[in-house]
Structure 1
């Protein structure tokens, strides 16, 4: 069995990070512009690292332990863990077991409005367990299995099929989250209108997150009262408007922290936070480390360039 898998998957069964500089990993997508797929069954651990592409981990057999944003997640077979772009994480492997590890281009999928809105709710990670959501985890695992078949095949249009399967994967998650968060059933045209408005609003917040943005102004921009805006924002995105805005500001701050010539206080102000204390508290709550600790773990200016565009 070991020899058959080695022959089939070859170097796509990683035992160590291929391109690591400090804590910054540069992912080589090889033939595909969207996905790097690994069928991993090594007992090697992965040290603390981060990368621009997102990551999906799902055990096939055995367990797997991932520490991310200061939290430890113990994965069981068919659990699905989605790690957001730029999140520091480390992995502890058991002596035996198999799992899927997939890196995916957030840049490619964020060109689709509702995908971009979904990705913005995944920080710092999303865990779907087979115990709590067996139907969803089984559907997602089946899609990963189909993706594996395409990735290691020589079929024509395999990249297009891989992208289609990845879109199907995230669509399943988005629709499931929407059903779970919905407080009322909207008729289809109205639901589509709300999704369009909030996708546009999320794009606006992403582009202006460092500015002064009030819930009142954002509600007015979306065309809702503050009450309905707050309710619908949570229903559609899975998080409050305030938490969404904070998450975007922290994402921006992380891009500045790679430059150790910029003082932490200046980064806080440039990222839209009105005090260094608030910045430190919210950054640690979301990432699991203070801004200073996060910068020290990087210990390099390399990695601020987008590896997917190099």
Structure 2
């Protein structure tokens, strides 16, 4: 593995886009970085700390942290002997049936799963994570197919846990809930296709067949985020990749990421990442 600027590359040691590493260091600092791969962090002995997009997570033994691809994160511990598994995989590359785009909106944000706060979800996720670890260690015939299956079991569990945040009124009717989820998926698809353009809450609501009020309420319940915040986070992730990988001006990056104002771009970037785009770009060299 190498880190160029903040971009971690060459994660995998084999052609299959999957990696498990067991970390046992007493003192371990892995600096701020990002990668296209999604990542699961699973400490099996003692606590562990991670920072993702400026938020610090203190993980107790057996807690699970799902880090979305593109999120900036770091790991750190001091005088804390323990075992922590890092599991990384490329969702799009593993998606042999081309259906993972249905889950993309629900997997775009980092999620912390605690055994105390969400025991049912944690139990199911942990079962699949342990199965991944055991299978990867033995690598019997067809092990990559087995790993694929468990990865998508995990992704479906995470996605459905987001869906279950819809309130009781909606959940009371499975048909109604399914209909709403289908319409929300249209909204997410529209955002993914149009986020680089000047789109509004009205545009997205209309594309999904919601009123603005209804869409705002359901979107917040589904994602834990307001529409504009979600849109800005998506745009900033795009901007970060352009800052790192392309020799473009800040103005060009702002426009290419969906911001029609440099002032708005700078303000949003600093709010989400703690520094301006110019300062961020300087950190890469």
Where does residue 243 of structure 1 map in the other structure?
Answer: 229
Distance 1:97 1:176 in 2: 29
Please say if 1:117 is aligned against 2:102. no
Q: 1:296 to 1:146 in 2, by over 3 A?
A: same
Deviations 1:36-74 (A, max 9, x none): 112222333212222111211111001212222223222
CA contact (8 A) 2:106 2:162 kept: no
Displacement of 1:96: 0.9
Q: How many residues align?
A: 279
* Matching residue of 1:60: 44
Match of 1:107 among 87, 92, 104: 92
Contact 1:40 1:100 in 2 (8 A): yes
Corresponding residue of 1:29: 12
Query: How far apart, in 1, do the equivalents of 2:199 and 2:5 lie?
Result: 35
The runs of at least 4 aligned residues of structure 1 exceeding 3 Å deviation read 30-34, 108-111, 235-238
State the shift of 1:189 in Å.
3.3
Instruction: Summarize the Cα distance change of 1:34–1:234 in structure 2 as closer, same or farther, 3 Å threshold.
Output: farther
Greater mean alpha carbon deviation, residues 21-30 or residues 199-208: 21-30
Alpha-carbon separation, structure 2, partners of 1:217 and 1:47: 39
- 2:196 aligns to what SS in structure 1? coil
Specify the alignment match of 1:214 in structure 2. Answer: 200
Aligned counterparts, 1:174-185, within 5 A = 174-184=159-169, 185=171
- In structure 1, runs of 5+ residues without a counterpart are 1-17, 300-310
CA RMSD of aligned residues (A): 2.3
CA separation in 1, counterparts of 2:151 and 2:42? 14
Point out where structure 2 has 5 or more consecutive residues left out of the alignment: none
Residue in structure 1 matched with residue 120 of structure 2 by the alignment: 135
Instruction: Give the superposition deviation at 1:279.
Output: 1.6
Q: Which residue in 2 is equivalent to 1:273?
A: 259
Q: 2: distance between equivalents of 1:114 and 1:296?
A: 36
Q: TM-score, normalised by structure 2?
A: 0.87
User: Secondary structure of the equivalent of 1:85?
Assistant: coil
Cα separation, partners in 2 of 1:183 and 1:210, compared to 1, 3 Å: farther
| 1:84 maps onto 2:72 in alignment | no
Change (3 A) 1:233 1:53: same
Distance in 1 (CA, whole Å) between partners of 2:133 and 2:221 is 33
Partner of 2:186 in structure 1?
Answer: 200
1:41 matches 2:16: no
Look up the SS of the partner of 1:152 in the other structure: helix
2:268 counterpart of 1:282: yes
Cα-to-partner distance string for 1:121-165 (whole Å, 9 max, x where unaligned): x1xx22222332233223322221111011112322211221211
Given that 1:27 and 1:53 are in contact with CA atoms closer than 8 Å, whether structure 2 keeps it comes out as no
Q: 1:104 to 1:182 in 2, by over 3 A?
A: farther
Q: Which has the higher contact order (CA 8 A, sep 6+)?
A: 1
Residue 233 of structure 1 is matched in structure 2 by: 219
SS of the equivalent of 2:58 reads strand
| Cα distance in 2 for residues equivalent to 1:86 and 1:297 | 17
CA contact (8 A) 2:48 2:76 kept: yes
Deviation, 1:186, is 5.0
CA contact (8 A) 1:48 1:88 kept: yes
User: What is the TM-score with the length of structure 1 in the denominator?
Assistant: 0.81
Kept in 2: contact 1:27–1:51 (CA 8 A): no
